[in-house]
Amino acid sequence: MRLSRFFLTGMLLAVTAISCKNDDDQPEPIPDRDRNEVEEEDQKALAEYLDTHFYNYEDFEDPVEGFNYNIVIDTIAGSNADKTPLSEFVTTKTFTFEEVDYKLYILTIREGEGERPKFSDDIYFTYRGELLNREMFDSSVVPIWLNLYRFYGNKDVSIPGYQSVMTEFGGSTGYEINPDNSVSWNDDYGIGAVFLPSGIAYFSEGPGLIPAYSPLVFTFKLLGVNEADHDGDGIPSWMEDLNDNGDLYDDDTDGDGTPNFLDPDDDGDRYPTREEIIIHEDGTLEFPDSNNDGTPDYLDPDSF
């Protein structure tokens, strides 16, 4: 839940910044730095970090009984001078955000055998967040739900880079509830870490203990996945990305200003989308096209 509180802090700052603009007595807010310039700096910092740090790979190679599968990162120095750096283990991925191609680094310990989230889904996970100086700014050892999409509503809000990394992992295939009501997850959930440039983390609005423009490190265990349907119209949000570009805000069939993933009547014909589609008992969807013009009823204001 803490991530959302961080986000709220950011929102308050943003609101303050906007209100200052209209008040002649207040100084102008400091404009955000150039995204490309920050990314260049962050990439240098991340590359250096990955070359000078290692993780407890030996613990994972030969796990002792009761090993907690926690990734622990430390500097390569002193008695650890001969350790293999993280840079030898990570893979890279490019994620485009605000028209900048961001490079992020992923450490995959275990992909996870269970369901994989789509970019707009909810995940159930534990995490620990650190700055590049290894200072921890946040963690949750108790699993929490988080929506991966940048939806500024009443759900927990993610940072942009999260959707890019979590879609590479799967959750657990199941769990058991113990007599004491604690939960034991099947030992096949996703385990990993991600090294994010600030542009797809909090950028200029580092909340809490995070300074502005901080690249971030998250280690995590992905336990569960829930297919999100933000507007509850029966169509999962990822399916409302009609132009398939990963941006849910630029799909607005009826042009009423509410994007389809938040619009329970997508074509604006006053018939709810839910009544213009067929949801079968096994959960599969069918999209009738009554007038056979190639546009399904829920996106066609001329048929219902």
Interface contacts to Ca ion, rule CB under 5 A: 229, 231, 233, 235, 252, 254, 256, 258, 260, 263, 265-267, 269, 271
User: Token pair for residue 301?
Assistant: 């204001």
Instruction: Identify which of residues 168 and 300 has a Cβ nearer to Ca ion in the complex.
Output: 300
Neighbours of 74 (CB within 10 A): 13
Rounded to the nearest whole angstrom, what is the least distance from the CB of residue 121 to Ca ion in the complex? 12
Neighbours of 8 (CB within 10 A): 12
Instruction: Identify which of residues 249 and 271 has a Cβ nearer to Ca ion in the complex.
Output: 271
Quick one: CA dihedral 5, 10, 11, 13, positive or negative? Answer: positive
User: Token pair for residue 145?
Assistant: 């739900």
Location of structure tokens 């992923």: 106
Instruction: Identify which of residues 78 and 283 has a Cβ nearer to Ca ion in the complex.
Output: 283
Rounded to whole angstroms, the Cα distance separating 144 from 126 reads 7
Instruction: Identify which of residues 168 and 265 has a Cβ nearer to Ca ion in the complex.
Output: 265
Closest-approach residue to Ca ion (CB): 263
Query: In Å, how far are 148, 229, 248 from 155, measured between CA atoms?
Result: 10, 12, 16
Burial of 55 (0-12, 13-18, 19+ CB in 10 A): buried
Rounded to the nearest whole angstrom, what is the least distance from the CB of residue 209 to Ca ion in the complex? 36
Instruction: Identify which of residues 42 and 252 has a Cβ nearer to Ca ion in the complex.
Output: 252
Q: Which of helix, strand or coil describes residue 53?
A: strand
Closest to 151 (Cα-Cα) out of 258, 37, 302: 258
Instruction: Identify which of residues 204 and 303 has a Cβ nearer to Ca ion in the complex.
Output: 303
Residues 6 or more apart in contact with residue 194 via CB below 8 angstroms: 104, 105, 106, 107, 161, 165, 217, 218, 220
Instruction: Identify which of residues 115 and 229 has a Cβ nearer to Ca ion in the complex.
Output: 229
Rounded to whole angstroms, the Cα distance separating 70 from 55 reads 10
Query: In Å, how far are 37, 119, 194 from 90, measured between CA atoms?
Result: 24, 21, 9
Instruction: Identify which of residues 205 and 269 has a Cβ nearer to Ca ion in the complex.
Output: 269
Rounded to whole angstroms, the Cα distance separating 290 from 56 reads 59
Query: In Å, how far are 106, 138, 252 from 162, measured between CA atoms?
Result: 11, 15, 25
Instruction: Identify which of residues 29 and 246 has a Cβ nearer to Ca ion in the complex.
Output: 246
